[in-house]
Amino acid sequence: MRIMFTADLSKVREVRQKTTDKNLTELLCFSEFTDKDLRPYLNFKSLDRLVAKRGTDRKDIYDKCQGNYDYAESVAHGNSIKASRQGSKDEFFVLNEIDKVTAPTGTYVRCLNNQDLRPTHDGRLLTKMQFKLLQEEGLGKYECLKSLDGIISGNFEGYIFAKIVFGEGGHQDNVFHEAAAFGQWAQQYGEEGKIYVLLIDTDLDSKYNELKESYDSENIWVVNHTEFQQRLGIS
């Protein structure tokens, strides 16, 4: 049985930071690694400032971390990449954590970069290159919906619109409008055998429930991160 990923996503950046620090600590302490391995977690500019301050080099810091968890943890805490400076990574973090749970069961959740895949109001799904070429032929950005955040493959196939939204405000309203637009698109143009996921973690219960009542179905899932995993067969 796979253990479901759960987190208080109102504090997603705190969760991300703890995960980054832990991953970096364990790499520094227990693994053979290269700078490339550390790149997702380590702020090299910060590390180089530490190196200069101590009059040493990166290798010396790395060597001291090996087998010394407390020292590695101290280096990681002071020099890890800060989640507070990477707001756009919040949804990526959630999708990646879900994939860690579902991939061993044969369901793969892959993040998409901005504009990798974009629905159009006439039912197409455009890759970044297709969108660029059609723009040159006169396609306007208002002829498209918000670009998608992830794709699902393996036991399930489909597409994900993912957002973390807490608190009231204009931005939050826009997120729900974008989610509803994707729900409408999926109702009209969705392919048989594919699922269309509106992955919304929020404290705005009335707006979330309205989305669920309007669009949730067998092939359109309006879910939070735990409900999503449950529908993928994780308990």
The residue ranges of every structural domain in the chain are 9-83, 87-231
pLDDT at residue 70 above 60?
yes
Q: What is the pLDDT of residue 47?
A: 96
* Cα gap 76→70, rounded to integer Å: 10
pLDDT tens, residue by residue, 162-204: 999 988 776 788 899 999 999 999 999 999 999 999 999 999 9
What integer pLDDT is reported at residue 167 of this predicted model?
A: 82
First-residue to last-residue Cα distance in the chain: 8
* Domain 87-231 architecture: 3-Layer(aba) Sandwich (3.40)
